């Protein structure tokens, strides 16, 4: 069984994952599964991970439709320490409604990130950008497969 690898996510998805953790919107249901509330609290996403297969699945739109590792799966990987990050830096991203910002800026992710970064000091911006780059590198190096079957989209 040859499983597809996940595509790398847009950088904003790492920011969204960190924000999800800062807001404590991820709840582990067991050591290899979790639920995530969306930033506007309107949807609940599921994540399943198989450590033996090095495969993961989630039912957020990016994971389901675009084939990249979405923010719920990234948040799960950070929460379970499969991906390393600094929780002090993560805490800077609380209470951000990414759904609203992405709509407001017409999915221009660079503008959304710039808007969020402007709320931080130059030193914090630099540290956060370095952490995000490091997480992207870790995602690349993990070479995670798409776990089958796919989860159904949330209602």
Q: Which position has the higher pLDDT, 33 or 152?
A: 33
User: What is the spatial distance between Cα 124 and Cα 119, in angstroms, rounded to a whole number?
Assistant: 10
**pLDDT score, position 155:** 76
Does position 1 have pLDDT exceeding 70, yes or no? no
**pLDDT score, position 150:** 87
User: What is the spatial distance between Cα 3 and Cα 129, in angstroms, rounded to a whole number?
Assistant: 31
**pLDDT score, position 115:** 97
User: What is the spatial distance between Cα 30 and Cα 16, in angstroms, rounded to a whole number?
Assistant: 22
Q: What is the pTM of this model?
A: 0.96
pLDDT digits over 80-100, tens only? 999 999 999 999 999 999 999
pLDDT digits over 109-126, tens only? 999 999 999 999 999 999
Cβ distance 27 to 66 under 8 Å?
A: no
Does position 105 have pLDDT exceeding 90, yes or no? yes
User: Mean pLDDT in the chain?
Assistant: 96
């Amino acid at each position: 069984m040859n499983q597809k690898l996940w595509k790398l996510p847009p950088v904003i998805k790492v920011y969204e994952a960190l924000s999800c953790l800062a807001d404590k919107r991820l709840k582990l249901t067991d050591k290899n599964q979790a639920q995530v509330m969306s930033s506007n609290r309107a949807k609940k996403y599921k994540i399943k991970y198989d450590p033996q297969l090095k495969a993961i699945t989630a039912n957020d739109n990016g994971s389901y439709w675009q084939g990249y590792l979405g923010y719920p799966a990234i948040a799960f990987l950070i929460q379970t320490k499969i991906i390393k990050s600094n929780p002090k830096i993560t805490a800077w991203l609380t209470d951000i409604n990414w759904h609203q910002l992405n709509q407001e800026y017409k999915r221009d992710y660079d503008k959304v990130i710039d808007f969020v970064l402007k709320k931080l000091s130059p030193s914090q911006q630099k540290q956060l950008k370095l952490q995000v780059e490091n997480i992207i590198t870790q995602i690349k190096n993990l070479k995670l497969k798409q776990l089958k079957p796919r989860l159904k989209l949330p209602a």
